[in-house]
A and B are shown apart, each in its own frame.
Chain A
Amino acid sequence: MAALPFYVSPEQIMQDKAEYARKGIARGRSAVVLRVEEGILLAADNPSAGLHKISEVYDRIAFAGVGKYSEFENLRKAGIRHADLKGYTYSREDVTARSLANAYSQLLGTAFSQEMKPLEVEIVLAEVGYNGRSDEIYRVSYDGSIFDEPLFAAVGGKAEPLAALLKERLPEIPSLSRGVKLLKEAFAEISGATMPLSQIEAGLLERASTGRVFRRLGGDELAALSGGQP
């Protein structure tokens, strides 16, 4: 007698995949992308100095990824290739965070529905505005769903309590130094441990700058911004 084929409903498959991805992402640490007066601040709770979670993508666009390193690193590289190719073929002004976020959304959506194993990542794309263009922050989830965040995006680890905490303490757009202090406190509170500055990877998309406006904030600069305590 042949074995009866299993039937698993599509709902069940999707649910299982979503749960698998969510668990994978929640195991890691968090990253936050936050609008500040000076531009857009990207910060991640990241004990490694070499394996980055935030990165420059293009002139005014930056990337933050959480979850499985190999997977979001691949996505980061694909995004940079996409942006450089587009900027070289057309013009540097034609590279936008919105089109990149769409490409990521397609990619993650396809991977989620067609592959056995969904990508265990959540990524954020931020573009700092100028000349009257507003700041844009897009959060793309493991299943390809895309969210346009008005003030900030918190992803990875205990993202939900972190987002709730930030929402409560962020009535309006803070200054850069206020933003750094706030994130340091928030990371510490959520992880329930002290958060030395050396464990925070941070970068800034500078609004007032021209050309490639992303720069990393080193330990000294972070210490100065957060008021001196290391």
Chain B
Amino acid sequence: MDTLSFRAFSPPFDSSSFVEVLRASGRLPAALSLEVPAIGTLPHATTVLALRYEGGVVMAGDRQASEGYQVASRAISKVLPVDRSSCVAIAGAAGPALEMARLFRVEIEHYEKLEGVMLSTPGKANKLAQMVREALPMAMQGLVVVPLFAAYDPESRRGRIYKYDPAGGRYEEESYHANGSGGLFARNALKMLYREGLSRDEAVEAALRALYEAADEDLGTGGPDFVREIYPTVFTMDADGVREQTQDDVAAYYRAFVVGLRKKE
């Protein structure tokens, strides 16, 4: 029966995947499925990181998008909440990366609504890997998108971190990871600051400190901007859900931190 296949709503379909619905409707963004011509310099998102703490995970990112040696935006958000327990952070070509994050969010929500249960944490991480893999042709042209995925896993009651490579490889990290142009410096800082069993507050401070170090060494990464009052975005995920640190909290940390630095001189 025609009507029971609900042609009036969307193409006949029996899947819980939103991406499949989108593809069938012909509206999947070209940037996520087809080859696109290489385009000179485009805005790139720079440093994002995640680290685990006791019973959760913190995810943070600076606010700058860079276009070559220029600042494309001073206040973009690279850490985006996906659902009640996870966030995705993006590094790489800002446009396609943000689009991927937005699509990923709807994909996860769509599954949850249709099935009545949330996808498992590894399930979400795999889904994101597939989306990165589909963007491979784009990556070959220079528009590399590399997300970082962090979630509180209610099954194992701990935070989990997944990193990706441009070919769709998915790797779980046990302690911390940082991505983007300043990723190396942030990772080095986290290597010093990380230990097992950090508290939530300690983890947030470590994340902010690592972002500061990345901004200090990397041109593309934005540091705390006291003049415009733009500070990194920080989210924590644990049994209490996804929480964003207020900009006031982050500002207070950096003010105190900078005072500490001056005293040393």
Contact = CB atoms under 8 A, between A and B. Distances in A.
Interface in A46-66: 52, 55-57
A106 interface: yes
A114 interface: yes
Interface string A105-147: 0110011001100000000000000000000000000000000
Contact of A78 (B10, B18, B22): B10
- Decide if the interface of chain B is mainly helix, strand, loop or mixed: helix
Interface centre among A75, A88, A89, A111 (most CB of B within 10 A): A88
A212 interface: yes
Contacts of A81: 9-10, 13, 18, 21, 110
Given A82-B9, A88-B27, 19 more contacts: A55-B113, A55-B116, A78-B6, A80-B110, A80-B114, A81-B21, A84-B110, A84-B113, A85-B10, A88-B18, A88-B102, A89-B27, A103-B8, A107-B9, A110-B3, A110-B8, A111-B3, A111-B4, A114-B3
Contacts of B10: 78, 81-82, 85
Interface residues of B, number: 21
B3 A115 contact: yes
A146 to B, nearest CB: 15
Given A74-B4, A89-B27, A115-B1, A84 B106 contact: yes
A87 interface: yes
A107 B25 contact: no
14 contacts: A55-B113, A57-B113, A81-B10, A85-B22, A85-B27, A87-B106, A88-B18, A103-B8, A107-B6, A107-B8, A110-B3, A111-B3, A114-B3, A115-B1
A67 interface: no
B87 interface: no
Interface of B: 1, 3-4, 6, 8-10, 13, 18, 21-22, 25, 27, 102-103, 106, 109-110, 113-114, 116
Interface in A72-95: 74-75, 77-82, 84-85, 87-89
A89 B29 CA distance: 10
B3 A80 contact: no
A78 B116 contact: no
Nearest to B112: A56
Contacts of B9: 78-79, 81-82, 103, 107
B109 A84 contact: yes
Contacts of B102: 88
B170 to A, nearest CB: 24
Nearest to A111: B3
Shortest Cβ-Cβ A-B pairs, 8 listed = A78-B9, A78-B6, A111-B3, A81-B10, A82-B9, A107-B8, A80-B113, A84-B110
Nearest to B113: A80
B23 to A, nearest CB: 11
B18 A84 contact: yes
A106 B9 CA distance: 10
B8 A77 contact: no
A191 B236 CA distance: 47
A180 B8 CA distance: 36
Nearest to A112: B3
Nearest to A114: B3
Interface in A174-230: 212
B108 to A, nearest CB: 11
Contact of A77 (B3, B27, B103, B114): B114
Contacts of B106: 84, 87-88
B21 A52 contact: no
Contacts of B109: 84, 212
A181 to B, nearest CB: 27
A85 B21 contact: yes
Contacts of B25: 85
